[in-house]
Amino acid sequence: MTLKASLASAFKDKRLPCRVRGCEKTWLWEGIEQARWMRDGKTDPPQRMCPECFGKFNELVDVEVPCAREGCEGSWTWTRGARLAALARDRTEPPLDRLCGACRERSKKIDGVEVPCRVRGCDGSWIWRPEERMRADGGEGTAKPPARMCEECYQRFRAATDQPVPCRIPQCDGEWIWSRAMQVEAAAAGQAGPPKRMCGECAQVLGEVEDRPQPCRVRGCENEWVWNRFAQVEARRFGSGQPPARMCDECYSELGRLEDRDLGCRIRGCDNTWVWTRNMQLEAKQRGRNKPPRRMCDRCVTEINRFEPRAVACKHEGCEGEWTWSPESQLAAALGGRTEGTPRRMCEKCADFLKGAKPIELECASCKVAITWTREHQLNVALGVWVKPTLCADCRRASATSGSGV
């Protein structure tokens, strides 16, 4: 066995990565060459191109590219090595931000400038580097710096992803996109979460509507409340489209001062109560009524349906008139345990007669003493039951006694 052969067998052929950045191919390092490499005392393996890259490299030539600074006549050399690396990353055009050698030298003499972060609410800054300034205006300070983020904002921007956020209208399933830029701005302003926003469809409706004043729902109140645009979006997209019944601000705060009140049932003999709610009180107040109304309790409201108005004969003998026994007093009678019979009352005509009548002074036909003709007696005479008196009580008794004695 020759020396060459034994060396070759000690080192096996190896595949090593192509040295062109971005290229994933390999080249073959033969065992025999590895042996030579080791013998020369080199430890790191050589940096070489894969056969494809090497082939391309041989076809490429260095290119002169104009200086990035406007107005500069200089150029820089895009070497075939750099072109090959660019090719590996699918780039065939030279970078456009590079300066010629002279400009690069001059840029070393100017300073970087601190520029405020472009994110609203952020007080960070970034450095506008000398080469960039050179590109912009030759370092003369006439160009405006570009809008850029500070490092912190930029890192946040890179780490963030656009996020879908639910529409702020509770019934809506829509979403809007909280962009990375908006997230960075929110973080700079110290806001933790996304703002409240509408989805695109809701936002469109919002753009079509305007705040609308509506009448206060409290009867008797002439104030208005404002049906705002947000509420209108909700109503138009997910409701009836009609404004809700709502109170004006004044009524609302008045309502806050009121309390529900328990009031006694208006039916005589009933101990139950009914609730005069705050809303009812408010309405009464708006109509200038401060006294609570007289109402029945819930039970009486139901119970009263058992009764019908009843015509009852006047209590006065000889009167054909009737009076009406109302369901309410029938209910009161029932609650008081008076279930039998009807109350004795006079008809309206009789009541009117008594109201209009006055006691009349008469003279006894026999002894001339004054006698009082009462209203009740007058009524009975009018009804044809009794006769108008002519004698005083004493003369009447005397005549009755003598009469009976005859």
Question: Which residues are at the interface with Zn ion (CB under 5 A)?
Answer: 18, 20, 23, 25, 50, 53, 67, 69, 72, 74, 100, 103, 117, 119, 122, 124, 150, 153, 167, 169, 172, 174, 199, 202, 216, 218, 221, 223, 248, 251, 265, 267, 270, 272, 297, 300, 314, 316, 319, 321, 346-347, 350, 364, 366-367, 392, 395
Q: Which residues pair with 27 in a beta bridge?
A: 16
Contact call for residues 65 and 94 (beta carbons, < 8 A): yes
Taking the complex as a whole, the smallest distance from the CB of residue 296 to Zn ion amounts, in Å, to 5
Nearest-5° Cα angle at 356, 351 to 359: 105
| The two structure tokens encoding residue 300 | 């009486």
Taking the complex as a whole, the smallest distance from the CB of residue 161 to Zn ion amounts, in Å, to 19
Cβ distance to Zn ion smaller for residue 39 or 257: 257
Taking the complex as a whole, the smallest distance from the CB of residue 165 to Zn ion amounts, in Å, to 11
Taking the complex as a whole, the smallest distance from the CB of residue 53 to Zn ion amounts, in Å, to 3
Taking the complex as a whole, the smallest distance from the CB of residue 351 to Zn ion amounts, in Å, to 8
In this structure, are strands 224-227 and 212-215 parallel, antiparallel, or unpaired? antiparallel
Cβ distance to Zn ion smaller for residue 32 or 346: 346
Cβ distance to Zn ion smaller for residue 265 or 333: 265
Q: How many CB atoms lie within 10 A of CB 375?
A: 15
- Nearest by Cα to 26 from 45, 44, 48, 50: 50
Taking the complex as a whole, the smallest distance from the CB of residue 274 to Zn ion amounts, in Å, to 8
Cβ distance to Zn ion smaller for residue 7 or 235: 235
Cβ distance to Zn ion smaller for residue 36 or 64: 64
Coil vs helix vs strand at 322: strand
Q: Which residues pair with 371 in a beta bridge?
A: 362
Cβ distance to Zn ion smaller for residue 81 or 321: 321
Widest pairwise Cα distance in the chain:
191
Cβ distance to Zn ion smaller for residue 86 or 216: 216
Q: How far is 197 from 176, CA to CA, in rounded Å?
A: 7
Cβ distance to Zn ion smaller for residue 167 or 333: 167
* Cα–Cα separations (whole angstroms), residue 384 to 164, 247, 319, 373, 387: 97, 64, 9, 15, 7
Taking the complex as a whole, the smallest distance from the CB of residue 324 to Zn ion amounts, in Å, to 13
Contact call for residues 112 and 129 (beta carbons, < 8 A): yes
Q: How many CB atoms lie within 10 A of CB 132?
A: 19
* CA quadruple 243, 245, 251, 252: dihedral, nearest 10: -80
- Nearest by Cα to 235 from 199, 197, 204, 202: 202
**H-type alpha helices, 42-160:** 51-59, 80-88, 101-107, 130-137, 151-159
Taking the complex as a whole, the smallest distance from the CB of residue 10 to Zn ion amounts, in Å, to 28
Taking the complex as a whole, the smallest distance from the CB of residue 32 to Zn ion amounts, in Å, to 23
Cβ distance to Zn ion smaller for residue 35 or 103: 103
Cβ distance to Zn ion smaller for residue 86 or 221: 221
Q: How far is 167 from 193, CA to CA, in rounded Å?
A: 14
Taking the complex as a whole, the smallest distance from the CB of residue 314 to Zn ion amounts, in Å, to 3
71: left (phi over 0), alpha (psi -120 to 50) or beta: left
Q: Tell me the residue type at 362.
A: L
